[in-house]
Structure 1
Amino acid sequence: MKIGFTLPQMGPLAHEAGEVARFAREAERLGADSLWVGDRLLAPIEPTVGYAGSDTIPEAFHSILDPFALLAVAAAATETAHIGTNVLNAPWYAPAVLARSLTTIDLISDGRLLPGFGTGWSPEEYRAAGIPMEQRGERLDECLDALEEMWSAGPAQYEGRYWKVPATHVDVKPAQRPRPPVYLAGFAPAALRRVARRADGWLPVCAPGAGGFDPGSINGPMATVRDFAEELGRDPVAIGLVLRVYPVAGASVDQIVQAITRAADEAGVDHAFVEMMNLARTVDESLDMAGEILTAVRG
């Protein structure tokens, strides 16, 4: 089973930006198969919508580093670990800008980028990005269409309702051909249908320490994705997943390991990564925790 960890990006870990390269190198040396970033823009003082069904914003979101910069650092500092995003809020970014950044990172990493996209949930972040939130689903679809065009065609051109790319030469392509594998997040029916229609994989989440692991939270939606894929004429078995293991504050290593092993045994998960922002306050603590988790899972 592939096991990864988030880079030092949010919360107290964000204050050790100079240690990102060391963390990436050491995590890979310990046996990490992947390194990940998220995409937060604000920590609203009076949020219209709180995080994960609450009415508040986690304190960890008060301190955030840029995902693209961290991806580039990790790509340059490592040799084998995949470099992933879970998730980039694609509607915030002009596709031409996004394609340039992700292509660069895929090339620096020699084809190790795993781009995951979603739509986000914060109205305040959408206002700060200058994008109407009610357009997020359509903008995500158009962004994916434009990325496909820029990663495959030459010259490339895209004309959508919200995003446009005038005819252009795009001679630098990602290292991965025909393009990096695209993963999508979300549990709503429309999100699952989008995964089935156009993604290489789905990005579910579990939360050790907030109750026992429920394999149905993965197996049920994944069955829906595969049913949709079959309806659309795609091979349902070809759609994979990467599980985000997001421990609540105070979760133990045993709870995290149990979630990972049960996900493998009861939901067929073959790639999971652990969100570190609630587990450690320093990069050294984060590396110690990563080593404990890897040793416990792999024996």
Structure 2
Amino acid sequence: MRIGFNLPQFGSHSHRPEGIARFAREAEKLGADSLWVGDRLLAPVHPEINYPGEDGIPDEFRAGLDPFATLTIAAAVTSRPLLGTSVLIAPWYAPALLARSLTTVDRFSGGRLIAGLGAGWMPEEFQSVGVPYGERGARLDECLDALEAYWTTNPVAHKGRFTATPASYVDVKPVRRRIPIYLPSFTPAGIKRAARRADGIIPAAFPGHFDPAVYTGMLAQVRAGTAQAGRRPEDVDFILRINTKAGDSVDSIADVLLRSRDAAIDHAFVDLTFRDRARDVEHAIDLAGRILDRVR
């Protein structure tokens, strides 16, 4: 089973960015198989939508480092772990710029990048980047079309509802021809989109509230929809994100990993920095090591 961890990108960690390189190096030495980043812009004082399970927005979202720069640092100091985004809010970005940023990280890392892309959920963030909140699903779909064009054709030409690229040469491509794309797929619409478009899904799990059957059932739903898109069920993979909170023990986190492995989920990563579960980078490294010791 592959086991990874989020990089120290949010909350108090963002004020000590030197910790990114240290955590990435030490996590690789410990045997971590993947390193991940998220994508947050701000924490509104009066949010229109609360974070799921919270009365408001977690304090950690008040400070966050750029995901592309964070991954580039990790790419520079490691050689083996996969590098992933969980998830980039695709509608915020012009597809041409997103394709370039993702391709750059993929080239720097030697082809280790996994692109987790989502539609987003916080209206205030969309307002801050000038993108209508109601267009997020359509923009995600168009972004997927544009990325496919940028990565697999040359000259590149794409015409969509929101952006268009006239026939143009873009010679820098991902190492593996295209970067694997994973989608969160929490909703019926998301499951259908993943069946048509994704290389895999990234659902979230929580220690103390984990039923492997829910997640294997979700994957089964996605795979059942692949035939309509002319794809094979095995074309869609699964990576489990484990969100931790203050009070979650190492044993409870390891239990999710062990039960996932028993359910044939072969890749999961643990978000140790969310809600400052890891107080500083040394604590995060220690937690990662203890979790891996419990599971391996």
The corresponding residue for 1:265 is 262
Residues 70-89 of structure 1, C-alpha deviations (whole Å, 9 max, x = no match): 01111111000001000000
Equivalent positions of 1:86-97 (< 5 A) are 86-97=86-97
Instruction: Measure the CA separation in 2 of the matches of 1:229 and 1:295.
Output: 37
Give the gaps of 5 or more residues in structure 2: none
The corresponding residue for 1:149 is 149
Equivalent positions of 1:209-248 (< 5 A) are 211-248=208-245
- The answer as to 2:272 corresponding to 1:276 is yes
Residues 39-82 of structure 1, C-alpha deviations (whole Å, 9 max, x = no match): 01110110000112544101111111110100111111100000
Instruction: Measure the CA separation in 2 of the matches of 1:101 and 1:133.
Output: 23
- Once structures 1 and 2 are overlaid, which stretch shifts more, 164-173 or 105-114? 164-173
Please tell me the residue identity of whatever aligns with 1:192.
Answer: I
- Once structures 1 and 2 are overlaid, which stretch shifts more, 57-66 or 12-21? 12-21
Equivalent positions of 1:29-68 (< 5 A) are 29-68=29-68
The corresponding residue for 2:206 is 207
Instruction: Measure the CA separation in 2 of the matches of 1:265 and 1:130.
Output: 45
Would you say the 8 A contact 1:10–1:65 is kept in 2? yes
Please tell me the residue identity of whatever aligns with 1:288.
Answer: D
Instruction: Measure the CA separation in 2 of the matches of 1:212 and 1:104.
Output: 38
Q: TM-score, normalised by structure 1?
A: 0.96
Instruction: Measure the CA separation in 1 of the matches of 2:234 and 2:8.
Output: 34
Equivalent positions of 1:86-165 (< 5 A) are 86-165=86-165
Q: Moved runs in structure 1, 4+ residues, more than 3 A?
A: none
Instruction: Measure the CA separation in 2 of the matches of 1:257 and 1:125.
Output: 34
- The answer as to 2:276 corresponding to 1:251 is no
Deviation at 1:166, TM superposition (A): 2.4
The corresponding residue for 2:189 is 190
Deviation at 1:220, TM superposition (A): 2.1
Would you say the 8 A contact 2:75–2:109 is kept in 1? yes
Partner residue of 2:287 out of 275, 289, 293: 289
Tell me how many residue pairs correspond in the alignment: 294
Deviation at 1:270, TM superposition (A): 0.4
Instruction: Measure the CA separation in 1 of the matches of 2:144 and 2:197.
Output: 9
Instruction: Measure the CA separation in 1 of the matches of 2:40 and 2:87.
Output: 9
State the secondary structure of the residue aligned to 1:80: coil
State the secondary structure of the residue aligned to 2:189: helix
Identity of aligned residues (%): 53
State the secondary structure of the residue aligned to 2:35: strand
- Once structures 1 and 2 are overlaid, which stretch shifts more, 250-259 or 181-190? 181-190
Please tell me the residue identity of whatever aligns with 1:198.
Answer: R
Residues 165-197 of structure 1, C-alpha deviations (whole Å, 9 max, x = no match): 2221101111112x0111111311110011000
Please tell me the residue identity of whatever aligns with 1:273.
Answer: F
State the secondary structure of the residue aligned to 1:76: helix
Deviation at 1:149, TM superposition (A): 0.4
Q: TM-score, normalised by structure 2?
A: 0.97
Instruction: Measure the CA separation in 1 of the matches of 2:5 and 2:271.
Output: 6
- Once structures 1 and 2 are overlaid, which stretch shifts more, 43-52 or 217-226? 217-226
Give the gaps of 5 or more residues in structure 1: none
Give the CA RMSD over aligned residues.
Answer: 1.1
Would you say the 8 A contact 2:13–2:19 is kept in 1? no
Residues 83-104 of structure 1, C-alpha deviations (whole Å, 9 max, x = no match): 1000000000001100111111
Deviation at 1:5, TM superposition (A): 0.4
